[in-house]
Structure 1
Amino acid sequence: MTQEFDFSTHSAETLEKEGKTYCLYANPGMGKTHTLRYLPGKTLVLDIDRTSQVLKGEPNIDVIYVDNQNTWEYWGALLLHLKDIKGKYDNIAVDNVSELERCLLSDLGFIGKNQGVPSQGDYQKMQFKVVNSFRWMKNLADRIVFNAWETTDMYTAAEGTHYNRSYPQINQKIINNVLGLCDVVGRLMINAEGERGFVLEGTNSIYAKNQLDNRKGCKQEEIFVMPSTIEEEKGEK
């Protein structure tokens, strides 16, 4: 039996963004998890690195503590659970991706035959698992947030100039796949006055992007708010 495919066309004039996906990264302790306080609506946090205590007292946030030992089977079951409860939460946050990768690999190494050390095949399994999981999750809530730790390397531009580059700590084989699924990639930083904010425009030294609006940066508390809403609130004051 021949499979039928949908080739219907849609005018770009009427296209609307159905959901928003963020990747927020910084060094440990900078405030990535705290940023989840600013998500509007009801939020579910998938706590992998056990830092959700900073969200204590938030009435609109629920937390699931992801099993960080038997992670491989648990994560698959959790995705099915998220599908079953679709619509209950406005936001789903994975905190964090860097630790999720480590836990998946650690579990695969434990159940493997190499004395707990992940094999090359385990790395490939993890890579497919993460990318497919995140692609699956994009349709499960209005906003999906992937927190990640920050890492750096030495980047050489086409003209030969060298830069110290900062970007999310995600496996190099899949980092473009994961960040390509995101509308916003923001680096959390602290300025000279001690104020926290996100860099939203990429440079040779910083991986960042913003496909939702024209902001090149924003305050920490405004990362999930559209510029029109910010201006309306300022006008009311």
Structure 2
Amino acid sequence: MSLQITNAANIQTDKGTYLIYAPPGMGKTTAIKYLPGKTLVLDVDRTTRVLKGEKNIDIAYVDNTDTWKFWGELIVDLEENYKGKYDNIVVDNISELERSLLSDLGNKGKNKGVPSQGDYQYMQFRIVNSLRYMKNLGSNLVWTAWESSDLFTDSSGQQWNRSFPQINHKILNNVLGLCDVVAKLAINSDGERGFVLSSSNSTYAKNQIDDRKGCLQSELILGDVNDPT
């Protein structure tokens, strides 16, 4: 085997993998209209109505009943027919995609529609493998998620509420680790929506693209939003 070695100084890529999260109705789907260039949205939760009139956005509706088969075929179709054709590919959203996959598997099982332990494992592998696969499509990859929270206690007994994306706990670290940016959408005291890009005890976030600690809703991916190319 011969390793393909590239000096870090010669790395050339302007594409990244982003995960944005917030409670329902906060503005995750609306934020898609600010992505620069041409965007394909894979609509799982049927909230893309807010994008009506956006000429640089195409929408493909994910089958939310026969989801297991549809999603597998969709991933292959993206590779064969759409690689490099969009500046951004958005999955809206991963939280609902998990539930749709599980619901489909449960309905096809023998437990009266309730997913089995094996179904959860199937879903977990499909989600992570899909993310790995889609990172090679030559586009910015943006996954949205709903927000979840818990009460965390550290080894000293100190407690605080933590916010993080609503993703199955078995694969949460795996998914977030594969992303360059994890951003929590929030509203400041002036009513402006923006993304938290820096982690704290109460918020999971990260930014491996640049040194920004936060940004406006319209500035997640920097670029000319009026440039259709």
Q: Is the shorter-chain TM-score for this pair beyond 0.5, marking a shared fold?
A: yes
Deviation by residue 1:49-91 (Cα, 9 ceiling, x = unmatched): 0000000000000000100000000000000111122122111
How far apart, in 2, do the equivalents of 1:225 and 1:201 lie? 17
**Structure 1 residues 159 and 8: CA distance shift in structure 2, 3 A:** same
How far apart, in 2, do the equivalents of 1:109 and 1:199 lie? 36
Deviation, structure 1 residue 19: 2.3
Structure number with bigger Rg: 1
Bigger fraction of residues in helix: 1
How far apart, in 1, do the equivalents of 2:50 and 2:197 lie? 24
Gaps in structure 2 of 5+ consecutive residues:
225-229
Deviation by residue 1:100-141 (Cα, 9 ceiling, x = unmatched): 000000000000111100000000000000000010001113
TM-score of the superposed pair, with normalisation by structure 2: 0.94
| 1:37 corresponding residue in structure 2 | 33
Amino acid at match of 2:65: Q
| 1:144 corresponding residue in structure 2 | 141
**Structure 1 residues 178 and 155: CA distance shift in structure 2, 3 A:** same
Gaps in structure 1 of 5+ consecutive residues:
230-237
Contact kept? 1:149, 1:168, Cα under 8 Å: yes
Amino acid at match of 1:177: N
How far apart, in 1, do the equivalents of 2:101 and 2:217 lie? 30
Give yes or no for the alignment of 1:200 onto 2:197.
yes
Deviation, structure 1 residue 18: 5.2
2:168 to 167, 171, 177: 171
Task: Identify the range of structure 1 (44-53 vs 140-149) with the bigger mean alpha-carbon deviation.
Answer: 140-149
- Percent of pairs identical after alignment? 61
How far apart, in 1, do the equivalents of 2:4 and 2:218 lie? 40
Equivalences for residues 121-132 of structure 1 within 5 A = 121-132=118-129
Give yes or no for the alignment of 1:114 onto 2:111.
yes
| 1:234 corresponding residue in structure 2 | none
Give yes or no for the alignment of 1:71 onto 2:48.
no
How far apart, in 1, do the equivalents of 2:83 and 2:185 lie? 29
Higher RCO structure, 1 or 2 (CA under 8 Å, sep 6+): 2
Residue 29 of structure 2 aligns to a residue whose secondary structure is helix
| 4+ aligned runs moved over 4 Å, structure 1 | none
Residue 32 of structure 1 aligns to a residue whose secondary structure is coil
Residue 44 of structure 1 aligns to a residue whose secondary structure is strand
| 1:186 corresponding residue in structure 2 | 183
Contact kept? 1:46, 1:66, Cα under 8 Å: yes
Deviation by residue 1:148-175 (Cα, 9 ceiling, x = unmatched): 0000001122332111000000000001
Superposed CA RMSD: 1.2
Give yes or no for the alignment of 1:155 onto 2:152.
yes
Deviation, structure 1 residue 216: 0.5
Residue 215 of structure 1 aligns to a residue whose secondary structure is coil
Equivalences for residues 213-228 of structure 1 within 5 A = 213-225=210-222
| 1:59 corresponding residue in structure 2 | 55
Give yes or no for the alignment of 1:20 onto 2:16.
yes
| 1:9 corresponding residue in structure 2 | 5
Give yes or no for the alignment of 1:50 onto 2:46.
yes
How far apart, in 1, do the equivalents of 2:136 and 2:30 lie? 24
How far apart, in 2, do the equivalents of 1:6 and 1:27 lie? 47
Residue 91 of structure 2 aligns to a residue whose secondary structure is strand
